[in-house]
Structure 1
Amino acid sequence: MSQGQRIVYGKLVRDRIPEIIEAAGKTATVRVLDEAELVPALTAKLAEEAEELRQAEPGDRLGELADIHEVLMALTEVLGFSDEQVQEAARRKRVERGGFSRRLWLDEVTTE
């Protein structure tokens, strides 16, 4: 009788991932994060998804953007903000500091 392989992930996953794993004949061990664990887990997930977008092939970018969007929506809710509040804050920052449409890359700043 062969022993099964065990892979440790230790990360936040989408809600249906455990059922998808079980449907594949595997066993998923999960727990529900408490309030204190949730924001750090979501911010770690955001970094993970951003890195996946950075490395993605052009044809995979939309899916990675969708993952980032999903994490941002969850963070918005958990932190007690509405989508409208986030959009308004983004608008204010764009007015004060600009957006990214000019594609400016800051190489250096020299002080005298």
Structure 2
Amino acid sequence: MRKIRTTTYGKLVRDRIPEIIEADGLTAKVRVLDESELVSALIAKLGEEAEELRQADPGDRLGELADIHEVLTVLTEKLGFSDDQIGEAARRKRAERGGFSARLWLDEVTRPGD
């Protein structure tokens, strides 16, 4: 008798993932998130994708960046912003606080004693 194994994921997936899983002869149990659940699921997915990028081999980084871009695109829309608004906010932050091109790593900050 064959033993049935179930793996629980509890995460947002791309639209075609259930179809791909079932093409492999497996059964995918999915549900459609309510609008109220979507933003937090997208933020969690963003963290998951960022961790995958951190661990990726150099040859896999483009795909991981594409995943992050896809999540950010949907998150931007669901939060009611446009790409132009995000770009302008990034330009303002860069003007006020700088970008990351100087490659600065902050080791520590020392405060004078009392």
Length-normalised TM-score, structure 1: 0.96
| Structure 1 residue 87, shift from structure 2 partner | 0.6
Length-normalised TM-score, structure 2: 0.95
1:29 matched residue in structure 2: 29
Identical positions, percent: 78
2:55 matched residue in structure 1: 55
| Structure 1 residue 3, shift from structure 2 partner | 2.9
| Structure 1 residue 7, shift from structure 2 partner | 0.7
Runs of 4+ in 1 over 3 A off after TM superposition: none
| Structure 1 residue 65, shift from structure 2 partner | 0.5
1:101 matched residue in structure 2: 101
RMSD: 0.8
Give structure 2 stretches of 5+ with no counterpart. none
- C-alpha deviations, 1:1-46, integer Å up to 9, x for none? 3132211100000001011111111111000111221111111100
**In 2: Cα distance, 1:103 partner to 1:33 partner:** 39
| Structure 1 residue 76, shift from structure 2 partner | 0.2
Q: Secondary structure at the match of 2:2?
A: coil
Give structure 1 stretches of 5+ with no counterpart. none
The count of corresponding residues between Structure 1 and Structure 2 is 112
